Amino acid sequence: MFVKHGMNSQFTLLGSAKHCMLASSAVFRRQQFLIRTLGGYTDQNHLKRMQQTKAMSGTAFEADSENILRAITPNLDPSKHKGQAGKIAVIGGCREYTGAPYFAAISALKIGADLSHVFCTKDAASVIKSYSPELIVHPILEESYSIRDEDKPSISGKVLAEVNKWMERFDCLVVGPGLGRDPFLLDCVREIMKHARQSNVPIVIDGDGLFLVTDNLDLVSDYPLAVLTPNVNEYKRLVEKVLNCKVDDHDAHEQLLSLAKGIGSVTILRKEKSDLISDGETVKSVSIYGSPRRCGGQGDILSGRQFIYLYYSIFFFTCVAVFLSWARQRLSAAEGDLPISKINPTVLGCIAGSALMRKAASLAFQNKKRSTLTSDIIECLGKSLEDICPAI
């Protein structure tokens, strides 16, 4: 049953008995509640919510995200060569999921990384290549359906050898977008992660990568260059596995701190209305208002009291990967002379990635409103960063 409404989102009821019955129904009451809650998505309401979020963000935990962005974003220098602004590798992409690894990889370039690689299955490679010639695509991963059991050990060895040829060139590895849950594929990725850890390469993990890690915590335990970026359900699984309890939203900061400590030396970015970040030593939040729009490729929405929580997943963690790489380079070159020198670079990367992602979503929504797509947000990444850190 549908109820028509005007431009001001107020319902117009006719005086018939039929509409009176509708007005008294539970369905109608729920519709009225939603309209009062959301208040319509006009420019004025969007600005008001941004101001409200800014006012609520003035807590002891709130990160100084814009200054962190300025501190770690490298200047454009004509004397630098290709690759010095970041080389990111995405491990993901199978026959069912080709959009996720593309969004992740292209986002790295849109932010300002120089090179972006995708290691995917052969079925996904040609599709991902067709999306953009800017990406370096390696069709080396395999799924169980395409190989015989007796061939699995040799194929696994070939996959690992191919990735290892490139491993030391990467500034960060992104594991999870469009990965799927094929057992053989996950076994190969498990070995890739072990070798990345041996090579001291940072690893940002999301999606099906978190599914793998939750069942194999030794992959990231006590590895300070590992970053986990769980959404609400992934966070719940981690809390239940590591802390053996339920998620506590009333003491979210302390529970996140305990979770990071429990896993050991990792950094966790919990995607929420305000993103929470902890490396087991400190907790920071990013509360910049993003967008009320949900579109495929951004993640999931959790409805709550008078809010819609927007979780960015597919390319959110690529932002973290790029900024983590830049933070490590900046801190290495500064030799302790910066105000941010005492902050863990993984935490810096999470703060910067969260802030930029939210700003880009807000800008895209201002431009496109209900028609906002993931690609619109990606196109706003560069403009959002330029507003904070002008290239020239």
pLDDT at 22: 40
Q: Is residue 45 part of a domain?
A: no
Q: Is 171 annotated as a binding residue?
A: no
Q: Is 299 annotated as a binding residue?
A: yes
Instruction: Report which of 4, 11, 58 is spatially closest to residue 35, judged by C-alpha positions.
Output: 11
Strand extents, DSSP E, 54-151 = 87-91, 115-121, 136-141
Q: Is residue 41 part of a domain?
A: no
Residue 358, helix vs strand vs coil: helix
Q: Is 234 annotated as a binding residue?
A: yes
Q: Is residue 23 part of a domain?
A: no
Q: Is 300 annotated as a binding residue?
A: yes
Domain residue limits at 294: 61-388
Q: Is 120 annotated as a binding residue?
A: no
Q: Is residue 234 part of a domain?
A: yes
Q: Is 232 annotated as a binding residue?
A: yes
Q: Is 298 annotated as a binding residue?
A: yes
Phi, psi of 341 (to 5 degrees): -60, -25
Helices vs strands, H then E, count in the chain: 15, 11
pLDDT at 344: 96
Q: Is 102 annotated as a binding residue?
A: no
Q: Is 297 annotated as a binding residue?
A: yes
How many angstroms from the chain centroid is the CA of residue 73?
Answer: 19
Domain count within the chain: 1
Q: Is 213 annotated as a binding residue?
A: no
At 66, which amino acid appears? E
Q: Is 233 annotated as a binding residue?
A: yes
Spatial distance between the Cα atoms of 160 and 213, rounded to a whole number of angstroms: 18
pLDDT at 335: 62
Q: Is 293 annotated as a binding residue?
A: yes
User: 157 vs 36, 140, 154, 286, CA distance in Å?
Assistant: 58, 11, 5, 42
pLDDT at 381: 94
* Alpha helix stretches (DSSP H) within 205-344: 208-214, 232-242, 252-263, 316-334
Spatial distance between the Cα atoms of 314 and 91, rounded to a whole number of angstroms: 12
Q: Is 270 annotated as a binding residue?
A: no
Q: Is residue 259 part of a domain?
A: yes
Torsion of CA 86, 89, 95, 99, to 10 degrees: -30
CATH number at 146 reads: 3.40.1190.20
Q: Is 336 annotated as a binding residue?
A: no
Q: Is residue 103 part of a domain?
A: yes
pLDDT at 161: 97
Which residue shows structure tokens 């292209």?
A: 106
Q: Is 345 annotated as a binding residue?
A: no
Q: Is residue 271 part of a domain?
A: yes
Q: Is 273 annotated as a binding residue?
A: yes
pLDDT at 108: 95
Q: Is 294 annotated as a binding residue?
A: yes
pLDDT at 91: 97
Spatial distance between the Cα atoms of 369 and 108, rounded to a whole number of angstroms: 24
Q: Is 235 annotated as a binding residue?
A: yes
Q: Is residue 282 part of a domain?
A: yes
pLDDT at 12: 41
Spatial distance between the Cα atoms of 156 and 165, rounded to a whole number of angstroms: 15
Pairing type for strands 301-304 and 115-121 reads unpaired
Q: Is 295 annotated as a binding residue?
A: yes
pLDDT at 308: 32
Q: How high is the mean pLDDT in each 10-residue block of the chain (392 residues)?
A: 41 40 45 43 48 49 94 90 93 94 94 97 96 97 94 96 96 95 97 97 95 97 97 94 95 96 96 91 90 50 30 69 95 77 94 93 89 89 94 80
Phi, psi of 227 (to 5 degrees): -125, 125
